[in-house]
Every structure is written in C-alpha cells, then in structure tokens.
C-alpha cells in the first residue's frame, strides 16, 4: 500500500470517456487496458523518454511509466545533443516513440501497434504522491536545458488548482484540444494531467494550421477547451476561417497582449484565460487578459519579496524557488508581471528589456515576426551590440532600422539585423537561445564568405 495514494485519474466509471482519437471516444476501460499492455513491454530501465506525437499514445506511455515505477524524461527539444545530455544524466534511458525518425540517438522501443480488448476490470491505479515520476526540462531559451524533478503529488496539486480556477467540472467534462506538444510543460499539464485530474477528455491530435484546428474542434463534443499559444492564436485569427464553437480558450508560453486577447474573445465568443508558470514551478497563476492585467495565484501559492528576487512557495512547491521574472505584488493573491530577469540589459549605461524591444520590432508594419537577443560572445571591455532576427518579406534592413529608430534608443539598434523566412520557434512557439546563436553564426559565416 502506498504511503500517500493519489489516483492516476479522477474518472470514476470505466465507461467514462478519457480521450478522443479521430473523433472517436476512448473509454477509461480501454485506456487502462492499453496502459497495462504497454507497461508489460517496457524493458528493465529506470528512465524513459516519451516522444510519442499522438497525444493518446503519449498519455498511455506516460501512465505505463508511472504505474511501473519508472521516471519519464521530457526534453523540450529532440536533438542529438539533448540525447547525449539525457544519456549523461540517466545512463540506462530508453526512448519510447511512435515516430520512425530517430532524433535523440537513444536506445529505442517502438510504440506497440494493434488494438487491445477493452476488458479491464481492475481498480484505478493509485500512485504514491511522494514518488518521483518525471523530469521536465527547461526550453533552453536562456541557456542549456535543465531538468526539474516532479513528484506525483507536485504535478497533481498543480493541475487541480488550475482546474478549479478554470471551472472544469467532472459532472460536465470538457473536451480538451491543444496546439502544444505534450512534452512541453504547458501541454503536459493542461492537455494530459489536467484532463486526468478534472475528469475531462483530451484529443489525441495536435493541430498546427488554422484549418486543422477548426476541423478537429468541430469533431469534438461540447464543452470544448482550446489550449493554444499566442503564436498559434495569432495565425488562427488572421486566417479568418469560420471557427466552431469554443467554450474556453487557454493560452501560455509567451506574453499575450490585451488587444490580441480581446480580439480572440470576440472571434471565439468565449473567455480567454492565460496561465503563468514555468518548468520549475508548473502553473501557479492565471488571469483574463482582456479584462485584467493582474494575475491571480492558485490556492495555497504565495509570493515573497527578497533581496535576491521573488520567491514562490506553498501548495505543491514546498519551499519553492526564486522566480525568473520580476513582479509587483498586489493585494491578497494578486500580482503584476514586469518581465523576465534575463531580459534586462544594460548597454552603454542605458537599461531596457528584450521583451520591450521585441514588441517594438513586431509592431513595425510588414514585420511578421522578430526577436532581439544578446550575442553569444560579448566583446571584453567593449560595448555589446544586440542582434535581431526578423521575418519581413516586403522590407529591407534600411526600412526596418529606420522604423526602429523611431521607437527605441539608437544604442539598442541591432548589429547585425538578420533576415529569415521564419524564426526558429519550437513546437510551443518559443525561441531557444541556441537556435538564435546558430542563426547569427551562419549569418557571420555567409558575410565572411561573401
């Protein structure tokens, strides 16, 4: 018997719907049978990387690892370098995947094809809350990805707090569809764990293009919860397609402007809520940005101002950690988000933030996307020059720089300004710093060759 047993799922009846695949319902009975089948096939290793793209297969593989006592590693990117890092941290790691391409270079186990008879008659598995079940890795947007260890209790408490504030009710379960991968902390919590713990049902699909989002939304029963990033949301609204009814929209991974939030609520005819959190903390607060700038902390979460920054603690966080963001505390459980600590820059004695500079670049007419970043190798005892990458097919460097001069101090003008067809955003819409540095290195090499 476990010391602190917490059910794998909040669903009660074996005929409850836990997922949808290609529009077809999957019951709890079938899901538990699939978990048992996959768990029996796992080799004798303590660590498993779950790279399944199909969200249902990801959920089955995750649950199989949990019930069999393994730890699931969730890297933010699937690269050979990340594979080498995982091997250093967990020498016996294996990769369970439903893809044919091997991007990590780890020992692989293919997700088993075929159907299983849905004859599960046993109880819902109980998991010891204190047991470590996952290592979730940071995105690398500020450097090398770092692992953060999660116990079952930490994960469950976090998503239950979010589900309560969202108003998710097992008596009227939502169908959840997400544009974000299940391996990313936002997708991991909202499209899998929250569905498990709120008695909801998740869609196996991960639509990317606006037409796919509309088609797959239409295949789900109501009420529908759309989990999306600002990057995907902007593309969906710009497409101008007839949008099937949505009952709730949930956004995260990047700041959402009030203008975009209001436009989204008008088009979706539903409230849009934004989640605040990180890989280190999980989700800890939310707000409705169309109506309120302030964030509301989840029950039991507290912020404390210290000389070293703002510490978050309580509930599933225990002693907690220092936030990577600057905040201004408000009344009770409210706060304002001022920007990331890593975004603060000082050039020639003048201060600014990368987030502000990004905003100014992206508001230039004709700019589709853009970002500033610090160079990988700063000049010793010299003035650091920012680099920027931009997707602006109808503009040239002179036009972009002229527009920036109207918006920012000249000391922050990018040198160089790199033009690309599209920025190297990952599946969750983020820009890993290593990918930006690689772009800058390529641009320098091309310049020297020319």
At 185 the pLDDT is: 87
Tell me the CATH class for 5-339: alpha beta
Instruction: Identify which has the larger pLDDT, 121 or 240.
Output: 240
- Band of pLDDT at residue 195, cut at 50, 70 and 90: very high
pLDDT number for residue 253: 77
Q: Please state which of the ranges 89-103, 147-161, 295-309, 344-358 shows the lowest mean pLDDT.
A: 344-358
Residue 127 has pLDDT above 50, yes or no: yes
Angle (deg, nearest 10), helices 397-405 and 354-362? 120
Quote the DSSP letter at residue 33.
Answer: H
How crowded is residue 101: how many other Cβ atoms within 10 Å of its Cβ?
A: 8
Mean pLDDT of 371-381: 70
Phi then psi dihedrals of residue 334, to 5 deg:
-110, 155
- The pLDDT tens digits of the residues spanning 416-435 come to 899 999 998 877 677 888 88
Measuring CA to CA, which residue among 246, 172, 208, 177 is closest to residue 21?
177
Give yes or no for residue 343 having a pLDDT over 80. Answer: no
The CA-to-CA distance between both ends of the chain, in Å, stands at 69
Is 70 exceeded by the pLDDT of residue 139? Answer: no
Q: Range(s) for CATH 3.30.300.30 in the chain? A: 348-449
Q: How much is the pLDDT for 392?
A: 94
Residue 266: per-residue pLDDT: 95
Whether 251 has a pLDDT exceeding 90, the answer reads yes
Distance in angstroms (rounded) separating the CA atoms of residues 127 and 112? 24
Tokens 């990317």 — which residue?
Answer: 208
Confidence band for 2, pLDDT divided at 50, 70 and 90? low
Pairing of strands 175-178, 224-228: parallel
Checking if the pLDDT of 285 tops 80, the result is yes
Residue 330: C-alpha distances to residues 69, 113, 299, 302 (Å): 42, 52, 16, 12
Q: Write down the mean pLDDT value for the chain.
A: 88
Task: Give CATH superfamily name and number for 348-449.
Answer: ANL, C-terminal domain (3.30.300.30)
Residue ranges, CATH 3.40.50.12780, the chain: 5-339
Q: pLDDT category, 115, cuts 50, 70, 90?
A: low
Residue with tokens 């502000």: 356
- Return the residue matching tokens 């008879």: 117
Give yes or no for residue 140 having a pLDDT over 60.
Answer: no
Local confidence band at 349 (pLDDT 50, 70, 90 cut-offs): low
59-63, 207-211, 263-267, 336-340: least confident range = 336-340
In sequence order, the 6+-apart residues with CB closer than 8 A to the CB of 298 are 158, 161, 162, 165, 283, 284, 285, 286, 315
């Amino acid at each position: 018997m476990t010391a602190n047993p917490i059910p794998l799922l909040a669903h009660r009846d074996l005929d409850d719907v836990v997922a949808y695949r290609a529009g077809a319902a999957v019951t709890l009975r079938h899901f538990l049978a699939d978990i048992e089948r996959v768990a029996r096939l796992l080799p004798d290793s303590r660590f498993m990387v779950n790279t399944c793209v199909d969200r249902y297969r990801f959920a089955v593989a995750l649950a199989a690892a949990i019930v069999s006592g393994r730890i699931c590693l969730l890297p933010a990117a699937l690269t050979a370098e990340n594979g080498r890092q995982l091997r250093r941290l967990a020498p016996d790691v294996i990769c369970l995947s439903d893809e044919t391409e091997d991007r990590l270079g780890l020992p692989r186990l293919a997700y088993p094809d075929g159907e299983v008879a849905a004859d599960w008659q046993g109880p819902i598995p109980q998991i010891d809350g204190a047991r470590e079940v996952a290592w979730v890795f940071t995105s690398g947007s500020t450097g090398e990805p770092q692992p953060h260890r999660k116990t079952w209790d930490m994960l469950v408490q976090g998503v239950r707090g979010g589900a309560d504030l969202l108003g998710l009710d097992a008596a009227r379960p939502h169908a959840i569809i997400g544009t974000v991968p299940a391996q990313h902390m936002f997708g991991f919590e909202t499209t899998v764990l929250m569905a498990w713990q709120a008695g909801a049902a998740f869609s196996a699909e991960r639509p990317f293009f606006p037409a796919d989002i509309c088609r797959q939304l239409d295949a789900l029963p109501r009420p529908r919860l759309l989990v999306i990033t600002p990057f995907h949301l902007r593309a969906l609204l710009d497409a101008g397609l007839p949008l099937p009814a949505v009952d709730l929209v949930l956004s995260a991974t990047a700041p959402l402007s009030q203008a975009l939030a209001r436009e989204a609520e008008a088009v979706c005819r539903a409230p849009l809520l934004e989640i605040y959190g990180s890989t280190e903390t999980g989700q800890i607060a939310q707000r409705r940005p169309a109506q309120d700038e302030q964030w509301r902390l989840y029950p039991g979460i507290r912020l404390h101002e210290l000389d070293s920054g703002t510490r978050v603690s309580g509930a599933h966080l225990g002693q907690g950690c220092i936030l990577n963001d600057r905040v201004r505390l408000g009344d009770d459980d409210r706060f304002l988000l001022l920007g990331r600590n890593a975004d603060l820059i000082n050039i020639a004695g003048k201060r600014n933030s990368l987030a502000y500079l990004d905003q100014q670049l992206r508001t230039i007419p004709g700019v589709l996307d853009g970002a500033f970043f610090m160079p990988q190798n700063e000049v010793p005892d010299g003035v650091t020059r920012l680099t920027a990458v931009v997707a602006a097919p109808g503009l040239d460097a002179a036009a972009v720089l002229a527009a920036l001069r109207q918006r920012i101090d000249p000391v922050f003008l990018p040198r160089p300004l790199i033009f690309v067809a599209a920025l190297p955003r990952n599946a969750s819409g983020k820009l890993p710093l290593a990918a930006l540095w690689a772009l800058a290195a390529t641009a320098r090499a091309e310049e020297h060759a020319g």
